[in-house]
Structure 1
Amino acid sequence: MAITPQKIIRASVRAAVYGAVALVDPNRLSGARKHAFWVGLAGASAAETALLPRPDDPWRPPAEVVGEGMFAAGLTYGGHELWAKADAWLIDALATAGARRPRLWYAALSAAIGAGVSLIEVPSIADEFGSDQEPTVVSDEVRDVVRGLLNGVQGYGADELFAQLATAQMTGGDGAWDFQVDENLPRTLISDYTFPVVGTYSSDGVEFTVLLDVVEGRLGSLYVLNDDVTGVDEAGVSLPDTASIDFHLEHART
């Protein structure tokens, strides 16, 4: 997958924040400045944890999001003494290694790590199985199943995904399909998530579940899991007629 403008923006912001934090020597702070630094860092940790995309569970209730953010903030502030000791150890290690300005080196390394974290891409399920195919027009059976999923609920980016589906292409098969869509089309508000409507059906006594992943606001992958939830059926899967699939809302929270 290509590096998109969204990823570049996230990488730039994260690199700037990581680098700026690394420039501050926490062992030289005292009084109000020390308190302000650690409160600010705790708040940043809370925001990053709470707002981090969760493709596997994007519809978390507000209480869960707040709880995770508060836990991250408490962990950061409560562990500030260990953080300060680790900072001193890293600076000493860089100086021992020959760095003339170890604090700047530390900031540069931190910025690089921040950018790298944002640019790392998790392959889709179809990617994990590999595909040397050239993209083709989305098949009728795949298109019908995606429409069935999107029609199962209002909102959740369904309108944008419908518009993308109209001109999308696909690769893959045997239970996993990747989509390629026009980059100029509007994206969903949430960047990465599994669409909350799933499809279930039975074949030869085995239960299957059909899911749709959204990646960076675009149609990502359609894939089938067997009843053991062990991944794509290695024997090969062909989608049934949509009349045989039960589309229902599963991932939404109340």
Structure 2
Amino acid sequence: MPNRGALFRVEGGGHVAWLFGTIHVGARDFYPLEPRLMAALREATVLALEVDPTGSQNDIARAVREHGMYQNGRGPASAELPAPYRPRLDRLLRRYEIGPQSVALMKPWMIASLLTVREFEAQGYQAELAVDAWLAQQAHGRGQKVIELESVQGQMALFGRMPLADQALFLQECIDAIEDKEQAGDAREIARAWATADQAALDRIAAKTAADTTYSGRFVSQVLLAGRNPALAARIAALLKSERRSVAAIGVLHLVGAGSVPELLRARGLLVERVY
């Protein structure tokens, strides 16, 4: 099998952690993953993920209700949009065969996330085949310990804390990107770069993300990546200290670019080697 994503070997105190970069969608031909990573997974005493997508569905549903849905009868999200965007949103919902009732209580950021997933699906990638989900299934199937570096509550709160006006702008920019074919191009680019472990392409994507001055671009760069990297690095360092052999799998964009998790681990005095 070819190399996928990005893989780092982290060593400290005689312990080894393998750090693997994932994407949150997938395709059947992604699997199984390449032999070195599969061997590392078999030898590990624990698999660490951002969150375990196969974990408590009640916890996931609770986080969705709390952070992704309107409370007290407010909504729909289209009411937050400027009038010209409302029919454009309706057209996209029809394109992806999303019924109006299924999004009636969703906040704008949640609809934007749903549209993004559907655009990945239109390019041939599926959320149910996501790399982190596949890894979790493999680990649980072996009876291996799976831990979470974050929580679904914490992740969704990052979006849910956005003021509604900013959420509306986030959705507007998502609509623009899909209609301009930018979203489709970005989906193909990140999936291809991950599927071929293309270091140069991943670096270009990281640089493009960091330079994006749109609201959604700054949110991704500053909140979803730079804002989370220090805590992720700290938890991976703690994992390395407590476990002789471990694998941590997090989104690949956390592993590239300025202020990346490998860079932060090196700053802690750990030996970090990029394998691919």
Q: TM-score, normalised by structure 2?
A: 0.23
Relative to total residues, which structure has the larger helix share, 1 or 2?
A: 2
Q: Specify the structure having the higher radius of gyration (Cα).
A: 1
Task: Specify which structure has the bigger relative contact order, considering alpha-carbon pairs within 8 angstroms and separated by 6 or more residues.
Answer: 2
Q: TM-score, normalised by structure 1?
A: 0.24
